[in-house]
Amino acid sequence: MEVILYGKAKCPKCSNARKMLNTQKSVQLTYKDIDKDLGAKDEYVEKYYEFSKNSVPVIVVNGAPFTSVAKAIDHIRACEK
């Protein structure tokens, strides 16, 4: 399952989300650092800025965005059934 994580290197919540998502066997995680990758930042701003109220992490699971890693993982598990 394709999962995209938009985050920042110095964000503890982003690091935690990345670790938790990497424990999910079916997840193919793509990490996009919005501080280092201008294309990723533009994509984040265009698609998820208002949704996330300018906060990270934003986790996108099969096109569905989440700001909570727990909710994202619940969605991943529901999709696996």
- In this predicted model, what pLDDT tens digit does every residue of 40-62 receive, in sequence order? 999 999 999 999 998 999 999 99
Quote the distance between the C-alpha of residue 64 and its chain's center: 10
Nearest to 29 by CA among 71, 76, 81: 76
Q: For residue 7, is it within any domain?
A: yes
Enter the pTM of the model. 0.94
pLDDT value for 20 = 96
Q: For residue 14, is it within any domain?
A: yes
- In this predicted model, what pLDDT tens digit does every residue of 69-79 receive, in sequence order? 999 999 999 99
User: How many whole angstroms separate alpha carbon 53 and alpha carbon 38?
Assistant: 19
Q: For residue 79, is it within any domain?
A: no
Q: For residue 36, is it within any domain?
A: yes
> How many domains is the chain built from?
1
Domain assignment of residue 18, given as a range: 2-72
Q: For residue 81, is it within any domain?
A: no
Q: For residue 77, is it within any domain?
A: no
In sequence order, what DSSP letters do the residues of 30-80 get, joined into one string? EEEETTT-HHHHHHHHHHHHHHHTS-S-EEEETTEEES-HHHHHHHHHHHH
CATH assignment of the domain containing 13? 3.40.30.10
Quote the distance between the C-alpha of residue 47 and its chain's center: 13
